[in-house]
Structure 1
Amino acid sequence: MSTLAWPPNASHDLTRELEATNARELAWLLVSLQDTLASLKAGLEECAALLAPQEPGSTLVLSSLRSESLKGYITRVGTRIVKGDIQLRLPSLPPPKGQPAYRLSVSALPTAPTIVLEQLKTARTLINACLDVVDATRWTGDAGNADFISSQIRLLHENIQEAKGALKGWSDGHKSWSDDSLDPTTFDPPLPANLSLHLSISEAAIVLHVRTVGGTDTHTGTNTPLAASSGLSFRERFTTAFTGGKPVFHDEAHQAFTFRGQEVRVRDKVRVESADPSLMAAMAKLGALERNVALSRRALHVVMGTENEDET
């Protein structure tokens, strides 16, 4: 049996009916997006709570793999590290006389600089911006204006992506360790001049890099510049040869850096990471929110007839 309409609709009537149908679909979608925005706000508030400065905070264990080079813990409250105790055993950082390791403690003095994790600060700022976008879209804008809703959802999508990226770890646009090491007076007693500590976030884990450095013009006992040697001092090389051990090399052993106004090379390097359950939960929630917003954007573009436009 034929499915053709008879008498056939005129071309202009068919166009008018299609436009009316699209208008009804768009109106329905815009109404449903209000519920979606309410759901997104609830999810964003959960993410904000996970990053909020709530006592007693998260205490994370730090321990180097397959060695005793670094042991300790740090306590995070919101975007700040408020407590920490670290013990180092590095060839180029001899401990004080009578001590088994070199101990570092985050200073409790009110005048000490605050340790702020900039990536968490960025993530919190972006999540708060997302909440502002949701409120502006729901209460102050024209809920029936498809172009306005589309631009707001795009902004929301971009902010969520950037917030998730901050918790995953950024490589571009961030300072290197040599420009962004912790202030020596953050610790009590202050860090020695040849020690660098650098904190960052990677895959919702807090990553600590510890480096000891030495000047590039330092010479070994054989008048061979340290920069061209293995990176060990004469005493360390003598100890290594005497005990039969092998020196440990790292990926920065033969690179030069500018650290606190001087050109240096890294002698010892230790990397330790500790997964933070709150950050992991926040990153997972942001990933789910990102997918939901992407689906809403796609649906709106299809109904508006702009699905082929660039969605960067």
Structure 2
Amino acid sequence: MSIAIWPPIAPGELKIAVETTQKREIDWFVQELHETLSNLQHGLEDCYALLAPIDPGSTLVLSTPRHEFVKGHITRVGTRIVKGTIHLRLRTLPHQTLTINPDHPIHLGPLMSLHSLLTHAIDLLGLTLSYSYPSSTTATYTSVNTRLARAPESSADAVSSPHFLAAQLRLLAQTLSEASALLKGPPLAVADPSWTTRSVAPSHFVPPLPQPHGSPTPPLSFHLAIQDSSLVLWLRSLEPADAPVHFGTKLALAIGTARRLEHDEADRVFGFCCSPGGDSDKGAAAPSSASLRSGCSGQIGGHGGREVEVYVREKVRVESADPSLLSLSAKLAALSHTLGLARRNLAAVMGEEGELGEY
């Protein structure tokens, strides 16, 4: 079967007609895309509100199943843990109760990074709308701390071109992907070494975590992370690698009356770095060259303290589902899906479907 155009059109005129039709289709789709981008903007603002520091915050229960080695609660306000009380009944440490100092809250590094990514995404989308649809934009965006691609200043049509929109939507998709990855966290089967430099400093508790006389590190590592949109607490009972083993302990292990607790980090030496006077309120400062050489990040939790080689005697994981983070993850997934459809449709009308996989 063949398709013929009647009345016949000269090849030169046909080429011009095809180009005109494609341009009209692209212009129509760009105008239709305005509503989609506006909905994306509202959705991102809802995501930002879920992470906003609004009192009274989210109170999360911490409890280990069955044995109740850990039992308590913490309160998250925005990107910080502002208060909490946790009762510990670990087998390798005396029973104790940890109380978070409300005057020295714990900043969560992954949520601080997530907050920055959401701010960047909102700024990026707002500036894209203001450049591409200047007559329809009612808000003025003053923040320019984004990766907005510099558009040609010689022509307003070049700024609102479909190629400009495609580049901006690619950056937005990358930002949303990074935000979702932060909420997903590292796989459970993969060891996360960040606890060695980002454990919470003893000064975040009232009273501060006790330290054995002469030891530069506390006997407990208190590490908070995000995994599958839930708050995860890792507790590790630490022992200096060079600590002498008492004769009674050696004898008990030899005759079988005592045994070591088995876990995936047993009998491994770790370089642990935590300063008792660290202040997480200063934020994640850039690590110095000396701290990089020593293996300490100099960031939240690590604070550039001296590295000490330790064994992990006991390891406990406590997971607490956070409704706000779960909702935030679902909204980001829906926004990413909508954005993906818009980018595919835009690539189709531009004739660049094959290049979408490179974005």
1:163 and 2:179 equivalent? yes
Gap regions ≥5 residues in structure 2: 133-155, 211-217, 274-306
Matched residue, 1:35? 35
Secondary structure of 2:262's counterpart equals: coil
- Offset at 1:2? 7.3
Equivalent residues in 2 for 1:135-284, closer than 5 Å = 135-141=126-132, 144-170=160-186, 176-192=194-210, 193-222=218-247, 233-234=249-250, 237=253, 241=257, 247-260=260-273, 261-284=307-330
> Which 4+ runs in 1 deviate beyond 2 A?
1-14, 140-144, 217-223, 233-240
Secondary structure of 1:212's counterpart equals: strand
TM-score by length of 2: 0.75
- For the aligned residue pairs, the C-alpha RMSD in angstroms reads 2.4
Distance 1:70 1:236 in 2: 27
* Conserved 8 A contact 1:64-1:71: yes
Q: 1:177 is matched by which residue type in structure 2?
A: W
* Conserved 8 A contact 1:27-1:144: no
Alignment size in residue pairs: 290
Distance 2:118 2:336 in 1: 12
Secondary structure of 2:40's counterpart equals: helix
Distance 1:276 1:235 in 2: 46
* Conserved 8 A contact 1:62-1:70: yes
Q: 2:126 is matched by which residue type in structure 1?
A: D
- Offset at 1:77? 0.2
- Offset at 1:91? 2.0
- Offset at 1:10? 2.6
1:73 and 2:79 equivalent? no
Q: 1:251 is matched by which residue type in structure 2?
A: D
- Offset at 1:14? 2.3
Per-residue CA distance 1:239-290 (angstroms, 9 max, x = gap): 9727xxx653111002110113211110011000101000000010000000
Pick the aligned partner of 1:107 from 84, 92, 101: 101
| Percent of matched pairs sharing the same residue | 43
Matched residue, 2:291? none
Secondary structure of 1:125's counterpart equals: helix
Gap regions ≥5 residues in structure 1: 95-100, 224-232
Equivalent residues in 2 for 1:38-77, closer than 5 Å = 38-77=38-77
- Offset at 1:179? 0.7
Distance 2:32 2:109 in 1: 37
Q: 1:178 is matched by which residue type in structure 2?
A: T
Distance 2:264 2:65 in 1: 17
Distance 2:256 2:341 in 1: 60
TM-score by length of 1: 0.86
With over 3 angstroms needed to count, the CA separation of the structure-2 counterparts of 1:84 and 1:214, relative to structure 1, is same
Q: Between 210-219 and 79-88, report the one with greater CA deviation.
A: 210-219
* Conserved 8 A contact 2:261-2:313: no
With over 3 angstroms needed to count, the CA separation of the structure-2 counterparts of 1:237 and 1:191, relative to structure 1, is farther
Secondary structure of 1:29's counterpart equals: helix
- Offset at 1:4? 2.7
Per-residue CA distance 1:181-201 (angstroms, 9 max, x = gap): 001110011113111100010
